[in-house]
Structure 1
Amino acid sequence: MQFVKNGPNVPEKLLQAHEEGKVVFFCGAGISFPAGLPGFGGLVWNLYDKMGITPDAVQAQALKLGQFDTAVSLLEGVKQTNQWRRDVRLAMAELLNPDYTSSKSTATHKALLHLSKIVDKETKERKTRLITTNFDRVFHKAGEAENLNYPTYQAPLLPVPKNRWDGLVYLHGLLPEKINGTDLDNLVISSGDFGLAYLTERWAARFVSELFRSYTVCFVGYSLNDPVLRYMMDALAADRLLGESPPEMFAFGEFKKGEFDTEYQQWKAKNVTPILYKSYHKHYYLHETISKWADTYKDGLGGKEQIVVTTAFSNPSSSDLHNDYARKLAWALSDPTGVPAKTFSQLKPSPPLAWLNILDSIELKKEDLSRFRIDQAGFDKELSYSLFSRPAKSADSPFMALASHPHVETKWDKIMFSLGKWLICHLNNPDLVLFILKRGGRLHPQLQWLINREIEDQRKNTFKGNNDYFEELRAKSTEAVVSKDMMIVWELVLAGYCEHSAHDISLYSWLDKYKYSSLTPALKNELRSILSPKIQFKKPYSISLNKSNKGIKKLLDWDISLASSFVHSALNTLDGVESWKNDISVLFPEFNAILLETMELKSMLNEADEFHDYTYIHQPSIKRHPQNKDYNDWTALIELLRDSWLSLLSSDQESAKNAVFVWWKTPFPLFKRLALFAIAEKELVSVEQVNSWLEQDGSRWLWSVTVQRELMQLLPALASRLNDPERIRLLKNIVNGPNREWFREDLTDEDFHRITQREIWLRLEKLKIAGLKFEKETEKIHQLIAQENPMWHLDEEQKEEFPFWMGDGERYRNTVSSPESEQGLIDWLKEKPNHEHWDNDEDDWPLRCKNDFDLAKNALITLEQDGVWIAERWREALQVWTENKLLSFKAWRHLSEFILTLSNHKLVEISWNLSRWLKSNGGCRPLGKDLYFRYFDKLIALPYTIEEEINDPITAAINHPVGILTESLFQQWYIEKPNDNEGLSTEFQHRFEQIILSEERDYQLGKVIIAANVLSLFRVAPSWTSEFVLPWFNWDNHELAIITWRSYLWSPRLHKALLVSIKNDLLETVNHYQELVNNKEQYARFLTYLALQKYDEYKVTELATAFKSLPEEALKHVASSLNDALSNSGDKFNEYWEHRIKVFLIKTWPKQTVFAEQTVNQLALLCLNTKSYFVDAFEILKHSLRQIEDTEYLVRKTLDSKLISSYPDEVLEFLNQLIVDEPRFRPPSKLNECLSQIVIVAPELEGNEIFVRLNTIVRQFE
């Protein structure tokens, strides 16, 4: 933590140890500098001067070497009398006369006294625990000024530094207020004094040894080579030889410019963790840091609460983590008393929910457990956790047991309970739901209780109309009052519909059990769990892209899934089990109930009601059909219900019939589809009943698109069943057509007529082809519609039966023809300037543009000349002509000059299509170079706007006119086949520079394309590119560098000259890895391949530093790239391993990192892929490997590699390095086989400790 800007960073573990009362400050001469007192060296030099002694050769040598205690002994030995010795010490006392005129003279002493006030854990008493080796009385002055009372101890009468210790210890003695006789003899200043204190009598050594065993010591005011420090380190070294392991020690130390690393290493060599501060104005940063630290913490918990209050009120920013504000807040909230967390939860207004992800992202380690008063013993040294997901104290943990009651959970501590109360203030924020679901979705019982209570209270107060209650909530947080939509979301979360499966639920595993068993109640229950519906909430797409989103979908996008995955593929296997064909009928009630539950969930989420449910999109056909694409697991429920009904039909027709009636009464269109399907399959329901059903709700189900497929399947089946009265009844309903109220209000009468004619014709045509006889009136109507629409016909693939047809990417629609005469087309376009998309209708303007170019072109030109501008029709025409080369050439000949006369405003409206048209026809004869440049210059200068932030520069560029035009410029340039180093021609250089030098925002998208093509430019014009483009790669211009690197990494190439030119920037990019977003992986892989090139200009040390700086997540891509490179080295495998991969692993691969499971997996695969070099590879990488959970594939690969027969010892050690003691589910399935082969090859290994461990793991699960 940094208390002063540019000051030292005080380690968090020191701060925490201090809060726990475990820190003792050990103070040296440096703290008294503000009072005008010298350091040890200055004191001794002044002492020689005051005593009038000019140092002789021996004395001078001692002074020069900084052996000031020896120099004092030599001075006292000038005259071998007790009086001389006393005079020397008296002179020293006179030299230690403080100057209190400065307000800063006692500030550091006061601060240290406050910092040393410790609350004893047992007695709760405040005690002072402070040590100084200074003789001066500045602490007395500071204590009096602050009205602080505490005992003092001075050498050689010292306390035992344990829990009962309370007081300030003058370890080397204290100057008395009035000096009499031998008072100064007990001061420890000469080498003889130090010898007695630390070596002979050892009273100081014993005190220091006990102190280091019991407390965390922080040295303040000592220099690196201070003799005092040396004696204490010697005493500590002696203890270490006896096996003592004291807590970590800290020391504030000064460093000069450029000497930080040297100073740091020298302190570490003394087994001290340095807290280094810059050398500036009499140790300014030391004194300010101590003072600010004391200001923050002298009131106990007030310091942490102050951090909470001053930090948490505002929104967190990305710089908070960098500047340690977030870490400071997380540390404050971790106080085990829960007081700072309670303060946090009670702030008004409540801290923003944005803090949740920020605080959760702060990784805590094993050494941080003490902040929660948890013993570190037994925890893995690589333990990692966060404030919101962490180990619990033993007293709060549930018992280890063979069985337990449901929801036996770890108890929350005071911290978590307060944080939970804070979260309750943000229940209306969907991000809270996403956070919970990301972590498993199952709420802790205490959080569930808090949410339930809050929702219940809000419902009660809504019912009572208690507006004051809600005003108070809003004052606490704008996200506290739960909206109707969010209330539904929380109901589903609380009900467990969003929980991740607690176990490895799989329909495949159920299938394995079912094959060898009957359908027992236990299996039925398990199947219900496997097929139970789950809801997956996720962040909605950008509102600007989904303006049609309403209700819950505006807040959270969602999908329905099942508890198990890959259900469709498992069902295909299940269908092959003979007993399933009969057993499935028994499961009809279960499948029906689960599907109904699923639809009710959709209804809660506003995507299903009694008239609409969109299942005709997810499952186009109830009957098996290629249009059922199985994109959603939940649609398997429809297939299961259908098949179970068909099985029931063959065994119990009456029950199957009853099910149809139940389906029809169920208030979702899906169940009516199932009923219609069933009626078409078997004549279970009378035609009278069918007609009655179809007449319900104004004959809705005869026309609803939601049941269209099943209705179209039913009508031919009904044709042979209808008696005359029912036939006439059905035909009458069809001829009457659908109700106008079911259609959009803004639909014109003409369009409504056209739609209804199509729907009536389709139903009559289905019945006609099935052989149904029409009476005269119906026949007349059918014939009239057919004559008016001769293009209508039934499709061989039955496309007309489906509201949507998937397969060719097109929705099946009817087409409204445009007039074939020029004047008729002009009038038609005037009436239809925009392309309206009705339910099943589409006009044929694109087809007209394709088949009758001249007619379409003339109509557009005439309308424009008459002042009628129809941008959408121009866009559609240009789209059609762009996609057809011959039409495109034709359009260039007849329209190019006319288009250039259009105003800029009109050109902007069709600029995207024009840019694509220009790009797709680069180099064609009708276009020509001059015309191309005229178009380019015209279009590139148009006044474009970019409304949204550029998140993906490549995608934005290739979809924006400026980017498309820049692509076309490169395309045009490539047509000329430029040569290396020949330079750019003026016409291209001028236009590239126009884009490069422009400050307009839309031109950035042109720069994206230039950056993606930088290699081509560099090869042709290296000097020009170095001047105009390569500076973009420099991170000094941060915004441009991000765009440049992301663009370049879209398609990077290994070209030595370019890579050498951008070397420094490329290596610096490692420090901006996260900013590369979706280009991060490319960077990691590209850097790996670059390193394997072994360019001389890229020094090994530079590359090693870069790879060491990569975040861990990148290293899996590095390891994967090494695998790829080695596996694809062909007949140069041996050389590639020896001279590339092996060298990289030894010299460049980071060694100090703890690797994630995916990285370890890749490294292990690399070992296996080295074949005969396995022993070499494993020896290099074994310290990078560690035990991981998922080793199934690795063990299989090990067995398949045949390495066991050649290297049984090494393979055994390799497996031991990877396989955990307690697998999450089961050990790797091939582990036993591997061990068996190892014993066959090397029987002596059977008694090996490693073999026994692995074999025990296998036997535990036998």
Structure 2
Amino acid sequence: MELLRDAWLKINTDDTERAAQIAVRWFQLPYPTFKRLALFAASSDDCIKPSLWVDWMLSDDSWWLWSPDMMREVCVLLRLQGIQLKGKAKSKLETAIIAGPPRDMYEDALESKRWKELVASATWLRLAKLKESGLVLGKTARAQLTKLSTQFPEWKLATNHKDEFSHWMSGTGDPDYDEQRNVYEVPTKRKKLVDWLKSPPSKEQAFYEDTWTQVCRSRFFHCFFALCDLSKENNWPIEQWREALQTWGEEKTILRSWYYAAPLVANMPESVLKELSRSVSWWLKAASKHSDKHERIMLDLCRRIINLPLEKGKGIQRTHNKVKTDDPLGSALNHPIGVVTQVLIDIWLKERPNDNTGLPSELRSTFTLLCDITVDRFIHGRLILCAHVITFYRVDQAWTEANLLPLLDWQNLNEAKTAWIGFLWSPRLYSPLLKAIKPQFLACAKHYGDLGQLRQQFAAFLTYAALGTIDGYTKDDFRQAISELPVEGLEESAQALVQAVEGAAEQREEYWRNRAYKFWHEIWPKSRELATPRIAELLSRLAIAAREEFPAALNAVADWLQPVENIHYVIHSLKESGLCTQFPTESLLLLDILIKNQRWSPSELGACLEEIASASPELKDTARYRRLTEYHRTHSLR
């Protein structure tokens, strides 16, 4: 980003009009980084008209005006160029600022009071930056700024502009460091620790900190025995236990803490264990990786957590392109039920079970319990179980067929979605299992969108399965499934195909002939209406990856090729492959198809054309060669 910024500054010095065109193009790209660069460019004098950068900020429901990722660029722009605002642009911007940020930019769980504070703070800062620029605010905006400044008199613009950053770190010695921290030194002796733990200061105090975590790390036995003393009085200080377990789960302390503290934690009352379920489960996970002591306690604690009346939870959400989606995998990996399910599996796998030996009876009953779909909170455990479905199938096929495979059936949409996300977390091609779940597996193509963030993983996995030989599956099965993928899925399938050929290394020509070509000819959809620039780019790379089979591969995919905007990597791959010298006619054809009127010519296009001309001089007289040469001459950055 710094390189782009510095390069743009140099261009702006020499050619302001060209610099402005670059900035406009940046904002048109669907990536926040380039939009940040565009707003940075707009903060330069006489570059971008105020009406345009105001439209930028207010696009997408004013998202870029309020996005924390854009805060620095927005504030600088308002401070440096706000004075240039007038008329309609000024009115539009002030109205948008007074309206405040969109609610969906923040978590749904945000408390009402906290939300109002965020709105007030963000509004005040942007209005204050406009005023700082020298702009005379409109009547309504001026009144709003005055109201907020009166309501929050402590709000002042920072002289060093640190308020323009979403995060700012200062340390002792920095000019702006306020020595406001209230650090309480926790006692390090057992008796005094007991007294302190009985009535620790409230962490609600402003700037309150204490050294409990450090003492837990450096004085394990003192802290442990102090907590042990309190437990005899049925006193279990929740916050201090939470911090202790988190600290004791660290690699340097886990062996000691588990050996000594496990019996004490095993005696926690149910109400305490419920409040500490997340901390205890993560402590168990750390212990399962490093210790083989107290296995019975570990198993019992896992079962107790599973049986606790925990909430399923709202789950984790991911935001992509401003769209929030559920993340079942992240939710399972962080929920106590999911964590202890993985702990139980880890304990089992330490025994290195062999095929067809069956599940241990005590684990079998617990795993069976987790497969009860009537218990909502167990869904996190079921996802983790399905992530290991191949292992379960190999060790205990009958149990797996009765308990896990039904979860993969799309007749129960929510369960199937969760189960398949678990499977796709780290999928492997295991023919006996895929044969057993053939209808459910192929049906995933119709439910591509239900697979969440792992939907692309499914498209790739389906492609690898089709490239291989899976007992019970026919080419028609794979052809039908691939045809049901949306365009995004086809793009992922094409990428998997490229990676498969590239991964064949020295055998890539053979792989193309015996697998990739058959997939392309017999399974890939035939409708050219599905072609996209992304698929064209990937198929170009596929042809290049085929090396000695480049002419045949290019001929096979040629009808799906079209001009590609971001052509640089393809040209680089072609140059590095040596194919321009080996197959000059076909290389020229590929370049002619891919390159039409892209804004900039790839730097290595010239070298490719030189190699083509050197290998086959007569091609220099062709229309294709002359067009590409002229294009490179007029569109090269050099």
Counterpart mapping for 1:1050-1129 below 5 A = 1050-1129=425-504
1:1189 aligns with 2:565: yes
| Matching of residues 763-802 of structure 1 within 5 Å | none
TM-superposition CA deviations, 1:1034-1069 (whole Å, max 9, x none): 111111011011111111111111122122211110
Retained in 1: the 8 A contact 2:254–2:286? no
- Correspondent of 1:915 among 260, 278, 281: 281
Tell me, yes or no, if structure 1 residue 994 matches structure 2 residue 369: yes
* 1-structure distance, mates of 2:608, 2:296: 72
Displacement of 1:890: 5.1
| Superposition deviation, residue 984 in structure 1 | 1.2
* 3-state SS, counterpart of residue 209 of structure 2: strand
Does 2:277 correspond to 1:906? no
SS at match of 2:281: helix
Match of 2:230 among 863, 866, 873: 863
- Identical-pair percentage: 27
CA contact (8 A) 1:919 1:965 kept: yes
Distance 2:531 2:571 in 1: 19
1:1242 alignment partner in structure 2 = 616
Residue 1032 of structure 1 aligns with an amino acid whose one-letter code is L
Structure 1 unaligned blocks of 5 or more:
1-405, 410-428, 439-450, 460-481, 490-536, 561-592, 614-666, 674-704, 715-800, 805-811
- Structure 1 residue 1032, shift from structure 2 partner: 1.2
Does the alignment pair 1:943 with 2:556?
Answer: no
Cα distance change, pair 822–1161 in 1 and its aligned pair in 2 (3 A): same
TM-score by length of 2: 0.73
Q: In structure 1, what is the Cα distance between the partners aligned to 2:633 and 2:550?
A: 28
Number of equivalences: 538
Deviations 1:875-927 (A, max 9, x none): 1122222325666545544x544444443222101111222222322388784
CA apart distance, 1:1016: 0.9
Partner SS state of residue 580, structure 2: coil
1:540 to 91, 100, 105: 105
Instruction: Tell me if structure 2 keeps the 8 A contact 1:1163–1:1185.
Output: yes
Amino acid of the structure 1 residue aligned with 2:243: E
CA contact 2:50–2:89 (8 Å) conserved in 1: no
Letter in 2 for 1:1124: Q
State the structure with more CA Rg.
Answer: 1
Alpha-carbon distance change, 430 to 1189 in structure 1, aligned in 2, over 3 angstroms: closer
Residues of 1 paired with 2:120 and 2:430: CA distance? 48
Residue deviations 1:1235-1254 (CA, integer Å, cap 9, x gap): 44434433433443433443
Q: 1 CA distance for matches of 2:515 and 2:452?
A: 29
Which of 1035, 1055, 1059 is the aligned partner of 2:410?
Answer: 1035
1:961-976 to structure 2, matched below 5 A, reads: 961-976=336-351
Per the alignment, residue 1218 of structure 1 pairs with: 594
CA distance in 2, matches of 1:556, 1:1057: 60
> Would you say the 8 A contact 1:612–1:669 is kept in 2?
no
Structure 2 segments unaligned to the other structure (5+ residues):
1-48, 53-57, 68-86, 317-325
- The one-letter code sitting in structure 2 at the alignment partner of 1:540 is M
Aligned equivalent of 1:485: 98
Letter in 2 for 1:826: V
**C-alpha distance in 1, partners of 2:425/2:189?**
50
**Distance across 2 between alignment mates of 1:871 and 1:408:** 55
CA distance 1:1142–1:538, change in 2 (3 Å): farther
Q: Does 1:882 align with 2:249?
A: yes
Inter-CA distance 1162–915: structure 2 relative to 1 (3 Å threshold): same
Q: Whole-Å Cα distance in 1 between the matches of residues 555 and 291 of structure 2?
A: 65
1:215 alignment partner in structure 2 = none
- What residue in structure 2 maps to residue 1227 of structure 1? 601
Distance between the aligned counterparts of 2:377 and 2:359, measured in 1?
24
The answer as to whether partners of 1:1151 and 1:1184 remain within 8 angstroms in 2 is: no
Which residue of the other structure, out of 193, 196, 201, is the alignment partner of 1:828? 196
Q: 2-side partners of 1:825 and 1:1069: how far apart?
A: 57
Q: 1:940 to 1:918 in 2, by over 3 A?
A: same
Superposition deviation, residue 557 in structure 1: 9.0
Q: CA deviation at 1:1219?
A: 1.3
Amino acid at match of 1:1155: A
Indicate the structure with greater helix content: 2
Kept in 1, the 8 Å contact 2:254–2:290? The answer is no
Indicate if the aligned counterparts of 2:255 and 2:290 stay in contact, CA closer than 8 A: no
Output the CA distance in 2 between the equivalents of 1:598 and 1:549: 31
Q: 1:432 aligns with which of 30, 37, 61?
A: 61
Q: 1:886 to 1:1034 in 2, by over 3 A?
A: same
2:581 alignment counterpart: 1205
Aligned to 2:160: 670
Residues in 2 aligned to 1:672 and 1:1237: alpha-carbon distance in whole angstroms: 54
Hey, what's the Cα distance between the residues in 2 that align with 1:1237 and 1:483?
56
Matched to 2:276, the amino acid is: I
The aligned counterpart of 2:631 is 1257
CA distance in 1, matches of 2:407, 2:186: 52
CA distance 1:1250–1:557, shift in 2 (3 Å) = farther
Alpha-carbon offset, residue 992 of structure 1: 0.6
- State the 1:821 CA deviation: 4.1
Whether contact under 8 Å (2:258, 2:287) holds in the other structure is no
- Give the Cα separation in 2 of the matches to 1:898 and 1:1068: 49
* Counterpart AA for 1:544: A
Which amino acid is 1:1181 matched to?
A: V
Deviation at 1:998, TM superposition (A): 5.1
8 Å contact from structure 2 (residues 372, 378) kept in 1: no
Structure 2 vs 1, CA of residues 483 and 1141 (structure 1 numbering), >3 Å: closer, same or farther?
A: closer
Aligned partner letter, 2:308: L
**Contact 2:479–2:524 at 8 Å: present in 1 too?**
yes
Does structure 2 conserve the Cα–Cα contact (< 8 Å) formed by 1:540 and 1:553? no
What amino acid is the match of 1:1211?
A: S
How big is the shift at 1:454?
13
Rounded Cα–Cα distance in structure 2 between residues aligned with 1:1261 and 1:998:
61
Partners of 1:974 and 1:554 in 2: CA distance: 51
SS at match of 1:1070: coil
- Kindly indicate whether the alpha-carbon contact (under 8 Å) linking 1:923 and 1:975 is maintained by their aligned counterparts in 2: no
Q: 1:926 to 1:1116 in 2, by over 3 A?
A: closer
The question of whether the paired residues in 1 share the 8 Å contact of 2:312 and 2:377 is answered with yes
Q: Given residue 1011 of structure 1, which amino acid in structure 2 is its aligned partner?
A: C
Contact kept? 1:1226, 1:1261, Cα under 8 Å: yes
8 Å Cα contact 1:825-1:859 kept in structure 2: yes
Counterpart in the other structure of 2:332: 957
TM-score by length of 1: 0.39
Inter-CA distance 833–1219: structure 2 relative to 1 (3 Å threshold): same
Q: Is the 8 A contact 1:814 1:842 kept in 2?
A: yes
1:413-435 residue CA offsets vs partner (Å, 9 max, x unmatched): xxxxxxxxxxxxxxxx9973349
Q: 1:434-485 CA deviation, whole Å, 9 max, x = no partner?
A: 49999xxxxxxxxxxxx969979xx9xxxxxxxxxxxxxxxxxxxxxx7873
1:857 to partner: Cα distance: 2.9
Change in Cα spacing, 1:833 to 1:430, as seen in structure 2 (3 Å) is: farther
Whether the 8 Å contact between 1:540 and 1:554 is mirrored in structure 2 is no
Q: Distance in 1 between matches of 2:616 and 2:215?
A: 80
